[in-house]
Amino acid sequence: MDIRGIWKVKEMRLPSPDGELVFTPGNLPDDEQFEEFGRIMQCRTEFADDGSLNTLMFVPEEMKAEAAEHGVVVREDGYAVIESTTWKEENGKFYYDTKTEGEVFGEKVDPFAEIPVTTDGCLVYSYGTILLERA
């Protein structure tokens, strides 16, 4: 499987005292505490050919000038990179750099976390909390 390209959020999975909560772009809670999830679900995830893993946010036409004033580069597709890390493929599995640092029992922590692929071709991302599908 080739994961290069643009992916969108299919669903978010969050643990809660009552069990796992599952949100989709069409099924977002109105509760203010979940407001950030709506923004996350509007983002796209790009697995670039150069090994970059970019989180993209759409910038509406009327906001492009203001974004440029703040140094934001808006791509031709209307998206701006708001976060970037790296990804890699090893032995048919995919991994991304979580940028986690430190040691456990005197051993350096591997900052790369696996991105499992589901049987229907979706990606399980962000420690299992985000399910991505091709955009």
| Nearest partner of 128 among 6, 3, 12, judged by Cα | 12
0.85 exceeded by pTM: yes
- Pairing between β-strand 112-114 and β-strand 123-125 as defined by DSSP bridges: unpaired
pLDDT number for residue 61: 92
pLDDT tens string, the chain, 135 residues long: the values are: 999 999 999 999 988 888 888 889 888 777 777 778 788 888 999 999 999 999 999 999 999 999 999 999 999 999 999 999 999 999 999 999 999 999 889 889 999 999 999 999 999 999 889 999 999
Residues recorded for the chain: 135
CB 115 within 8 A of CB 96: yes
> Token digits for 68?
């440029």
- Residues 69 and 65: their CA atoms lie apart, in Å, by 6
What integer pLDDT is reported at residue 26 of this predicted model? 85
Around Cβ 56, how many Cβ atoms within 10 Å?
23
Structure tokens at 60: 């509406």
